[in-house]
Amino acid sequence: MSEDRTSELLREIDAYVEGLFAPPDEALEAALRDSREAGLPEINVSASEGKLLQLLTEIAGARRILEIGTLGGYSTIHFARALPDGGTMISLELDERHADVARRNIERAGLSEKVEILVGDARELLAAMVEAGIEPFDLTFIDADKEGYPEYLDFALQLSRPGSLILGDNTIRDGSVLDPQDDSSRAMREFNERLARDERLSAVVVPLIREGIDGIAIARVLVD
Ligand code: SAH
Ligand code: DHB
Ligand code: MG
């Protein structure tokens, strides 16, 4: 099959899955629209990946979620909706402008009570959480700067308990992890290798259709 036909088919398959499992949703569409109008980059998870995040949260029975990289809150809304009554989420964001847009999007979705956005460099915010000995998270979603993934994994492990899930977005990036040519794909390759090797984890990377081909890492902290 020609490359053009293959990418067309990938787009059609993604639209098919999205049409079935991620039907139009007012709060999510408004979040994307306002993010775009505010000039945020369009690098949120896809609608069907959002649905996957929601399902993983439900399957894990997560009550406490940590997200690293908020952007306009599109993925945040999926997680927060999957939380049970009393469940909470902390999302970390470097850019105050992104955090402002996200807060408005989350408010409109009726989820403000469940979500706290902390603004700052995730490395510093995570180090402070470890230092403070806060209650572990049931699920951590890593989705900030790609160079930081190996370091974020160290923090996520320190902030997890046996049975917690650690997820990583963008772990395939059009195959750039196969033969990394820049710092971010080298870091992503290291992240995937660490997930595979770390004896505290059971993990896999699942390829996903996004603009091109990307992937999500799903890891579970083992119970010994
Ligand atoms: N999770 C979002 C997308 C996040 S995009 C979604 O799918 O809807 C990555 C975000 O990480 C951007 O908003 C960027 O500003 C933020 N970011 C980049 N470096 C960061 C850092 N060092 N600490 C915290 N956030 C960071
Ligand atoms: C980029 C970042 C993301 O988190 C994503 O899902 C897609 C693209 C990026 O920085 O290009
Ligand atoms: Mg991402």
What tens digit of pLDDT does each residue of 19-38 get? 999 999 999 999 999 999 99
pLDDT per position as a tens digit, 40-70: 999 999 999 999 999 999 999 999 999 999 9
pLDDT-derived band of residue 143, with 50, 70 and 90 as boundaries? Answer: very high
Helix, strand, coil percentages, rounded to 5, for the chain: 50, 20, 30
Q: Please give the distance, rounded to the nearest whole angstrom, from the Cα atom of residue 121 to the centre of ligand 1.
A: 10
Q: Please give the distance, rounded to the nearest whole angstrom, from the Cα atom of residue 175 to the centre of ligand 1.
A: 21
How many angstroms separate the CA atoms of 133 and 130, rounded?
Answer: 5
How many angstroms separate the CA atoms of 77 and 89, rounded?
Answer: 10
Name which residue sits closest to atom 22 of ligand 1, judged by CA: 121
Q: What are phi and psi of 54, to 5 degrees?
A: -65, -45
Domains of the chain, by residue range, sit at 3-221
Name which residue sits closest to atom 8 of ligand 2, judged by CA: 43
Which pTM does this prediction carry?
0.98
Q: Please give the distance, rounded to the nearest whole angstrom, from the Cα atom of residue 76 to the centre of ligand 3.
A: 12
**Which of 156, 119, 117, 115 is closest to 138 using CA atoms?**
156
pLDDT per position as a tens digit, 119-137: 999 999 999 999 999 999 9
pLDDT per position as a tens digit, 152-208: 999 999 999 999 999 999 999 999 999 999 999 999 999 999 999 999 999 999 999
In angstroms, what CA-CA distances link 187 with 39, 126, 167, 191?
27, 19, 16, 6
Ligand 1, residues at Cβ distance < 6 Å? 43-45, 69-71, 74-75, 92-95, 98, 121-122, 143-145, 148
Long-range CB contacts (within 8 A, 24+) of 6-15: 7/212, 10/209, 10/212, 10/213, 11/209, 13/209, 14/46, 14/48, 14/209, 14/210
Q: Tell me if the domain spanning 3-221 has CATH number 3.40.50.150.
A: yes
More confident residue, 5 or 147: 147
Q: What's the start-to-end Cα distance of the chain, in Å?
A: 47
Rounded to an integer, the average pLDDT of 107-122 is 98
